[in-house]
Amino acid sequence: MKILTGLYSAFYSKRWYQSVYEANSKRCLLYLFVMLAIVWVIFTVRFSFNIQTMTQEAIQGFAKQLPTMAMSVDHQLKTQKPGRYFIYYPATKKLFAVIDTDDNRMNFGSSPAEVWVGAEQTLYKSHNGIRVWQYKDMQPGTISTENFSAYMGRFLNFFTRILIVIFYVVGLIVIYPISLILSWFFAPFLRSIARSLHLQLPITKARNLAITGMTPFWMVLGVLYLFKFLTPWTTIITLIILVLYPVYATMTCQKLLKKTQGA
């Protein structure tokens, strides 16, 4: 049983499924891990596209609302045009921040805003109450839409990469036991098919065939997810593939089962 060739042989090769039948359970479990590790890369690629798109849209959504501001040498923040500016979450339009560098104080504690930006400090709400951030460590300069987008892009890219790694690792840890449990559910079904052919299929062999027979399901599901082709109809097709291929794997082993039963 060749592990890497199984990624495509599982779609058509009777000989490969026969080698699965003859392989031991440890090798089949190793195959399941390798196959899922490769397939989950496909899911992670699409996830990374989605999270990066969401991040960029959020940055641009906030940047468009920001006024041009300048930090003076005495650490005073001023907007280019005086006034009070309201910054909303781009997706929900919920109030996120109020910018008022003229220090026309508002009742920040009762305001729905999460951040208040003043001339000398920024107030923000946390689970411990209202916190204060002083500007004394900030360098003089201009805060514009462009440099805000560039800074936030660099800042969020770091966390995006961490999130992608977490998605891959946690996802693989989750789908491996799920696939293993699913193979045990399939095993009695495959044994019943073998019995209908007057053949005896051992439970461990049935599980091994179920494990490898799930390869087309995971591969097709991954490609559909990557190219955003998941619809009710394609989902139904993938579920049909999930059921049919373990059956196909069992049918390819009829001669080996007869030979074993005859012996």
Last residue of a domain, one of 88, 113, 143: 143
**Residue 243 domain boundaries:** 6-54+158-262
pLDDT of residue 82: 84
Question: For the CA atoms of the chain, what is the radius of gyration?
Answer: 29
The b/e string for 24-35 (b: 16+ C-beta within 10 A; e otherwise) is eeeebbebbeeb
Distances (CA, A) of 105 to 22, 53, 69, 82: 77, 36, 18, 14
Looking at the fold, whether 46 and 163 belong to one and the same domain comes out as yes
Evaluate whether residue 252 is within a structural domain: yes
pLDDT of residue 230: 92
Evaluate whether residue 204 is within a structural domain: yes
**Residue 58: CB partners within 8 Å, gap ≥ 6?**
90, 91
Last residue of a domain, one of 120, 143, 166: 143
Three-state DSSP at 72 gives coil
Evaluate whether residue 80 is within a structural domain: yes
Evaluate whether residue 1 is within a structural domain: no
Evaluate whether residue 148 is within a structural domain: no
Looking at the fold, whether 108 and 34 belong to one and the same domain comes out as no
Predicted confidence pLDDT, tens digits, the chain (263 residues): 888 899 999 999 999 999 999 999 999 999 999 999 999 999 999 999 999 999 999 999 999 999 999 999 998 999 988 888 999 999 899 999 999 888 666 678 788 999 999 888 899 998 888 899 988 888 899 888 888 888 888 888 889 999 999 999 999 999 999 999 999 999 999 999 999 988 899 999 999 999 999 999 999 999 999 999 999 999 999 999 999 999 999 999 988 888 776 65
Looking at the fold, whether 184 and 102 belong to one and the same domain comes out as no
Total count of domains within the chain: 2
Looking at the fold, whether 162 and 258 belong to one and the same domain comes out as yes
Looking at the fold, whether 183 and 96 belong to one and the same domain comes out as no
Evaluate whether residue 151 is within a structural domain: no
According to DSSP, residue 108 is labeled G
Looking at the fold, whether 40 and 88 belong to one and the same domain comes out as no
